[in-house]
Structure 1
Amino acid sequence: MSDLVEGRWAEIFGPRYLPVTTILALGVTLFAFNAFLSAAALPSAVHELGGVEVISWATTLYLVFAIVGGAAAALLKRRLGSRGSLVGLAIVFLIGTLIAAIANDMTQVLVGRAVQGFGEGVVAALCFALIPELFPSRLVPKVFGMQAVVWAVAAFGGPAGAGALTELISWRAAFLINVPFVLIFVAMVLLVVPRGERPVEAHGFPGLRLLTIGAGTMLVALAAVTEPAQAALLLVGAAVLLTAAVWLDRRADQRLMPPDAFSLRSAVGSGLWVFLLMPVAGAATAVYLIMLLQQLWGYGPTQAAITGAVMAVAWSLSSVTVANVRQRATRRILIRSGPLFLAGGLVLVLLGLEWTLLPVLLVGQVAIGMGFGMSNGYIMLTIMEASTAAERDRTSALLPTTQSAGNALGAALAGVAANAAGYPHAVGNADVLASIVPLFVMGALFAVLAFLAALRLTQLAKVTPLATFAEE
């Protein structure tokens, strides 16, 4: 194919697109900040309110309800319109924030986190759905590059800010800091996003499908904190429920997903598999690396966190760098190379830990970050382009939901692999190093599966008619 028209970075920050860019950045920031909030603020909440036994559920419920909300996002957009959905669900998120901030016990905190998760899951998914609607195709890689940078800043600056607020004021202030950002977000949506026409639909709410998705995700979350044998059964049950949800959705009159979701016979379905499998593979380092650095090398929390942040920095920088690529052939190479870089990076991180060589580990971290950064934007763009105009809302909204599901599934599988290999009971460094080998091998194998799905995606995308995005 011929070269694509090049978009410039200045355009997405220019007067025409800056308001929309700001809305998307705020949506990503709120999701990233609150996904990592629990690590900084909730220990102080537990100290004040009690309930240490349920502290992990503050993050689990947020992510589970975010996935359910993301699954419902396209339906809500069709019923309420982009503007109504964004404003309405931002207010839902705000209500959850206030419930958690004024809580008198941990049960109320958990309720607030669940409400937060549902609201922000919808908002994050709708922000993705707005990208092909409000930006021309040539600017979409720039938008994804911007989002990668915002995510990295929010993911690592957010917990630090929440920690500072907790230490200087209160853990409640770490929740309440969301309030002005949500109000700014709502004001900008009202000013920028067109009202549009609100279609009238008399069909019922897809409660069974959303319940099935939520139950399947909850089983995945439970698998991360149970014994290996029980975890395996829970993961099988989760697979059955989530498969059933996709099957039910394909036969519904009002679908939550595109009809070819997770079908290897289409570019959209193959791309969603890549988008699911790469976070599953990356969970080996996302979940365990910082803890392993403290355990094996005696790093303090800050030093370990900085080492772990190398991956996010590489992700952001590589995403910005490749956003200028115009050749479709080069984009296909980047999509295929991403999972390979991820697999190679996981092997290098394992070798760095085994050999106690920081440079090898850092190269592995950079490779993992580059694997995600060089491919993610073009995977999403290819999926969006392969989707028909009628299905683009469902497809776009499903992208962050699929990624969140991959993170949850990866964390559960990583826990199963590490627990089955004896990691929780390992005493000396030699035992710890032996127990993490299956964890990283499993991650590398999932990266290889992601590569095979990426090959399928790029093969099918060659013959898929390209959709027309927003016109200039």
Structure 2
Amino acid sequence: MGSSAGRLYQSGLPRRQVVTALAGTMLSMFLGSIFMTITATAMPRIITDLGGFSQYTWVFTSYIITETVAVPLTGRLSDMFGRKWFFVAGMAIFVVGSFLCGISQTMTQLIVFRGLQGIGFGVMSALGFIVIADIFPPEERGKYGGLMAMVFGLSTIIGPTLGGYLTDALSWRWCFFITIPLGLIIIVLFIFLFPQLRVGGTRRRIDYAGAITMMLFITPLILALNWAGVDFTWSSPVIIGLFGLTAVMFVIFVFIERRAEEPVIPLALFRNRVVTVSGIAVFLQGAAFFPGITLVPLYFQGVLGASATQSGGFLTPMMLSAAVGSFFSGQALSRAGGHYRLQAGIGFLLMAAGFLLLSRMNPQTSFLTAIINNVMVGIGAGMIMPVHTIAVQNTVPYAIMGTATSMIILLRPLGGVFGLAIVGSVLNNRFISQFTGNLSAGVRAVVSPEQLAGIVDNPQALVNPAARAQLQAMFEGLGGQGTALFQELVSTLQNALNSALTQVFLVFFIVVVLAFIVNVFLKGVPPHRDRRDVR
């Protein structure tokens, strides 16, 4: 079997179809990943319209939970039934979910429909990196894996600016509607131009029990982490019950997977040190990076006073640096050999330094300083993105390539789920304690308990010009003292948000340091070894 890039490495497709497969995969990845940052930029205005600051992180958590479940199932099922129609189905689900998000009237509806979007993107994101392993030999996977990670970075560069513009100029709903025509075009391209890619072999039994029990231990765990300290105390029967259900379902899941013919997550993979270390490292990276993306616009708007368009533009350098880091990291993997530990280690150090600097910011921090801190996080995250996926692909037999790849892809957003869940609790609790604890008696005398409760639930209401003007007019009706009290209210709000967000950034710093320590145990794997079981 030749290793020429002009032919599909395993099944002999001509260059034209290889290019079509790569282009289609990159387009779907672009459209799916762009919505992570579009939604992050629009969220402050969405909360203004729909309310529910305490549910802020759930809009992202529901997306990542469903994506997490879809990824391993896609890896297994596409090995059995081929890649093409899973791509079509994934994009169709994503488009329908986007439309429903755009017409949502409550935060609950938006959260549910974001979950539907997550299923579609989970299918597409899993297949993206699996197809790279299908069509390119080991020595070229770093190059194209880095390119795929760069697509993620580029999409998130466009996302913040586009999301900010649509939110300010039209409505946050257009952040979702814009995907519909683009998604339909991609579906047509998939149907008529995308090649059939199948690993081969007989169709085997689907691990329904494993998939169901995986959902049943992930979901109660995330619910417990989101509700604890916000809606219920940590010692409440609800939280204890959810943690108990998580433990029971996890034990059942492990029992099922050890006996399944085609497990969703083959536990034997974790005997491989590269797989185990890579899995833990990407989990921890996801726990810091994905929540970081969602919270940066909140900091720029809520603490530094930027508009939605400005905050989108300020997030762009972070994502551009991630794209550049991914591209050059992938090139280095292909050209210089399997220096996985070194490249990922440098990336983790840069991420840690960036989050530490972010944790030291305050309302007087300049936009330039905040941008530089974000760029450090972005470069580091970009350097890490392709490394562990390629390391795993180059160390496992081809017979389980799709499963191993989907597992690594699964663990990064799963880490994001945990990170977002913990962030939601820390952010909400810290903000409430700081805001209510530092509010002066003079402001309390002017603001009714109902208005105060509304600000606590939705601090971003002051970003909305109409809401801000209404509240400001009420204060100014008291004369000069009222104007001073209004400025005091705004300052207290900004300081409370700053305290909450910088504490979260410090948590991210600790998480990334742990990831760096884990990465030290990653061993090198020669990238030119062909471990395929070619049929």
TM-score (norm 1): 0.80
How far apart are the structure 2 equivalents of 1:296 and 1:94?
A: 34
> CA offsets, 1:289-316, max 9 Å, x none?
4333444433344434433333212111
* Residue 272 (structure 1) shift: 1.0
Distance in 2, Cα, partners of 1:401 & 1:134: 21
1:345 pairs with 354, 357, 365, which one? 354
Count matched residues.
Answer: 458
Shift of 1:288: 3.4
**Per-residue deviation, residues 146-168 of structure 1 (Å, max 9, x unmatched):** 33332233234235545656777
The whole-number CA distance in structure 2 between the counterparts of 1:112 and 1:266 is 38
Q: Any residues of structure 2 matched to 1:99-248 within 5 Å, and which?
A: 112-158=113-159, 160-161=161-162, 174-190=175-191, 191-194=193-196, 196=198, 200-201=202-203, 203=205, 205-207=207-209, 209-213=211-215, 215-217=217-219, 219-220=221-222, 223-224=225-226, 226-227=228-229, 230=233, 233=239, 236=243, 240=247, 243-244=250-251, 245-246=253-254, 248=256
Query: Deviation of residue 21 (structure 1)?
Result: 2.4
Give the conservation status (yes or no) of the 8 Å contact 1:44–1:171: yes
Q: 1:198 to 1:170 in 2, by over 3 A?
A: farther
* Residue 84 of structure 1: aligned partner: 85
- Give the corresponding residue for 1:256: 264
Contact 1:137 1:469 in 2 (8 A): no
Equivalent residue in structure 2 for 1:366, among 327, 351, 375? 375
Report the counterpart of residue 444 of structure 1 in structure 2.
509
Residue 385 of structure 2 aligns to a residue whose secondary structure is helix
Identity of aligned residues (%): 20
Structure with larger Rg? 2
Aligned residues of 2:64 and 2:416 also touching (Cα < 8 A): no
CA distance in structure 2 between the partners assigned to 1:207 and 1:217 by the alignment: 15
Supply the distance in 2 between the matched residues of 1:433 and 1:174 (Cα, whole angstroms).
27
Q: For residue 336 of structure 1, what is the amino acid of its counterpart?
A: G
The one-letter code of the counterpart of 2:205 is H
1:224 alignment partner, SS class: helix
Where structure 1 has 5 or more consecutive residues not aligned to the other structure, the ranges are 9-13
Residues 1:333 and 1:219: Cα distance change in structure 2 (over 3 Å): same
Per-residue CA deviation, residues 323-351 of structure 1 (Å, 9 max, x unaligned), is 33222364431122222222122112223
In structure 2, the partner of 1:410 is 419
Instruction: Give the conservation status (yes or no) of the 8 Å contact 1:26–1:181.
Output: no
Structure 1 vs Structure 2 CA RMSD: 4.1
What displacement does 1:440 show?
A: 3.3
- The answer to whether 1:319 aligns with 2:326 is yes
Summarize the Cα distance change of 1:45–1:23 in structure 2 as closer, same or farther, 3 Å threshold: same
1:341-396 CA deviation, whole Å, 9 max, x = no partner?
22122112223449836665444322211211122212211111112212110111
Is the partner of 2:323 in helix, strand or coil?
A: helix
Structure 2 counterpart of 1:299, from 283, 303, 306: 306
Tell me: CA distance 1:225–1:186, structure 2 relative to 1, closer, same or farther (3 Å). same
Partner SS, residue 351 of structure 1: coil
> For residues 192 and 286 of structure 1, do their structure 2 counterparts lie closer, same or farther at Cα, with a shift above 3 Å needed?
closer
Contact 2:38 2:162 in 1 (8 A): no
Aligned counterpart, 1:11: none
Change (3 A) 1:77 1:310: same
Counterpart CA distance in 2 for 1:198 and 1:91 is 26
In 2, are the aligned partners of 1:70 and 1:397 still within 8 Å (CA)? Answer: yes
Residue 403 of structure 2 aligns with an amino acid whose one-letter code is R
Task: For residue 274 of structure 1, report the CA deviation from its aligned partner.
Answer: 0.6
Which SS does the other structure have where 1:323 is aligned? helix
How far did residue 98 of structure 1 move?
Answer: 5.1
Aligned partner letter, 1:292? Y
Match of 1:278 in 2: 285
Using the TM superposition, give the Cα deviation of residue 66 of structure 1 relative to its aligned residue in structure 2, in angstroms: 1.6
On the 8 A contact 2:66/2:116 being kept in 1, the answer is yes
1:25-36 aligned at under 5 Å gives the runs 25-36=26-37
Report if the CA contact (8 A) 2:102-2:177 is conserved: yes
5+ long unaligned stretches in structure 2:
7-14, 439-491
